[in-house]
Amino acid sequence: MEHGVALASVEGLEGLTLGRLATDLGMSKAGVLGHFGTKEALQLATLETGAAAFRRLVWEPARDAEPGLPRLRAICEAWITYMETARDTFPGGCLFTTASVEFDARDGALRDAVARLSGLWRRRLALEARAAVAAGDLPDDTDPEQIAYELVGLYMALNQEIQLFGAPDAGDRTRRALDRLLGPRPSD
């Protein structure tokens, strides 16, 4: 599964072929297929394995931070670290950005799964933003959904900046945008 996630992050979930995966793992195609039944089931399992890694790398490190703005900032910082350093797990960059544009114009279980995960994470970001408003750490007229929407865009830009342009200052660019979106960090 780990190798499947790595392959899919580079080639996409459609480019994750049974033959390629089997060769890389030193197995037969039928052997790989036996574990999943169909290619679509393999793709779904790969997406779920990637999602578990994302949760571990981005959500979990922020779990102990105080709900609201502190936790939102912790999530955003872990998210930058994920983009910059998860090269062994996701050598081709964020699997969910790739999967989103790969399936956003099709029907089926893959599209539904990608939309479900992306929607879930968007709502979780909005939840923290809402708590931040309630605590008085963000202005009263802040729209939590708007914050979540802009954050997602910021991290898709970060993924492009790292993968397509190989920009070394990508993380700092994102932090500057976060300062503008969430207010400057306390340490500034």
Partner DNA sequence: CCTACCGATCGGTAGG
Determine if residue 17 is left, alpha or beta; phi over 0 gives left, psi from -120 to 50 gives alpha, anything else beta.
beta
CB of 76 to DNA, least distance (A): 36
Q: What are phi and psi of 28, to 5 degrees?
A: -90, 155
Contact 8, 95 (CB under 8 A): yes
Q: Note whether 124 binds a second copy by CB under 8 A.
A: no
- Return the CA Rg of the chain: 18
141 binds a second copy (CB under 8 A): no
Cα–Cα dist 153/115, whole Å: 15
DSSP structural state of residue 141: T
Q: Which of 36, 65, 157, 183 binds a second copy (CB under 8 A)?
A: 157
Using rule CB under 8 A, residue 153 touches a second copy: yes
Contact positions with a second copy (CB under 8 A) in 64-123 = 91-93, 97-98, 100-106, 111, 114-115, 118-119
Q: Work out the burial of residue 129: count CB atoms within 10 Å of its CB; fewer than 13 is exposed, 13-18 middle, 19 or more buried.
A: buried
Write down the least CB distance from residue 149 to a second copy, Å.
Answer: 5
If one asks whether residue 125 binds a second copy (CB under 8 A), the answer comes out as: no
User: From the list a second copy, DNA, none, which binds 31 (C-beta under 5 to 8 Å, kind-based)?
Assistant: DNA
**Is the Cβ of residue 35 or residue 87 nearer to a second copy in the bound state?**
87
9 binds a second copy (CB under 8 A): yes
Q: Which does 91 bind (CB under 5 to 8 A by kind): DNA, a second copy, none?
A: a second copy
The partner in contact with residue 146, picked from DNA, a second copy, none with C-beta cut-offs of 5 to 8 angstroms by kind, is a second copy
Is residue 109 within 8 Å of residue 40, measured between CB atoms? Answer: yes
Task: Please give the Cα distance from 167 to 133 (Å, whole number).
Answer: 33
For 42, 56, 57, 60, 154, the CA distances from 9, given in Å and listed in that order, are: 14, 17, 16, 22, 19
Instruction: Find the Cα–Cα–Cα–Cα dihedral 120, 85, 97, 159, rounded to 10°.
Output: 120
Q: Which one of a second copy, DNA, none is in contact with 28 (Cβ closer than 5 to 8 A by kind)?
A: DNA
| Contacting positions for a second copy (CB under 8 A) | 9-12, 14-15, 91-93, 97-98, 100-106, 111, 114-115, 118-119, 143, 145-146, 149-150, 152-161, 163-165, 173, 176-177, 180
